Amino acid sequence: MDESEPLEEWAARRERRRPAPGERRATPLGDQPEQGAHVDPGAPRGIQQWDGHQWTPAGIAENHATAAGETGQDANGRAERVPLPAFGKLPPMPEPWRPTRPWHRPQPQKS
pTM, entire model = 0.58
Contacts for 37-45: CB closer than 8 Å, 24+ residues apart: 37/64, 37/68, 41/65
Closest CA to 75 of 5, 30, 24, 16: 24
**pLDDT of 51 higher than 60:** yes
Closest CA to 56 of 44, 66, 48: 48
Average pLDDT over residues 85-89: 69
Q: How far apart are CA 46 and CA 71, in angstroms?
A: 11
Average predicted confidence (pLDDT) for the chain: 81
Confidence of residue 110 (pLDDT cuts 50, 70, 90): confident
Average pLDDT over residues 26-55: 84
DSSP three-state, residue 38: coil
Q: How far apart are CA 66 and CA 61, in angstroms?
A: 6
Q: How far apart are CA 39 and CA 42, in angstroms?
A: 9
Confidence of residue 2 (pLDDT cuts 50, 70, 90): low
Q: How far apart are CA 42 and CA 63, in angstroms?
A: 5
**pLDDT of 73 higher than 80:** no
Confidence of residue 31 (pLDDT cuts 50, 70, 90): confident
Instruction: Give the per-residue pLDDT at 60.
Output: 92
